[in-house]
Amino acid sequence: MGVLYDIRRYLRRAIAPCLCFCAVIYFGYHTVQGERGVIAYLRLGAGLERSEMALEQSTQERQALEARVALLRPDNLDRDMLDERARHILGLAHPHDLVVYPEN
């Protein structure tokens, strides 16, 4: 009986540290790998950076288009821009003209 009693007593003493160790492992794993863990945070940061770069590029493209549209407004009409757009849209040019289309 003495050996069985010693084993039981040892197991009772070991249960609390084992449960605490398992809890630490569980929470540590989810702190790193979980849905809101460190790795997910880094992924979100990288995604945010890509989105900000795409926004900046879109903003620059929009500003360039707004500047070109401003040249076609009736109160501030640029004849060269109007001629360029007409040739581009209609595809018409004098046979001796050299037409160079910009890459859009």
Positive/negative CA dihedral, 66, 69, 70, 73: negative
Q: Is residue 104 part of a domain?
A: no
- Output the pTM of the full model: 0.55
From the list 53, 89, 92, 84, the residue with the least C-alpha distance to 68 is 84
Residue 49 three-state SS: helix
- Residue 68, pLDDT score: 83
Structural domain total, the chain: 1
CA separation for the pair 100, 78 (Å, rounded): 19
Q: Is residue 7 part of a domain?
A: no
Share the mean pLDDT of the chain: 87
Q: What contacts 86, CB < 8 A, 6 or more positions away?
A: 92
Q: Is residue 103 part of a domain?
A: no
At residue 104 the predicted structure's pLDDT band, cuts being 50, 70 and 90, is low
Q: Is residue 5 part of a domain?
A: no
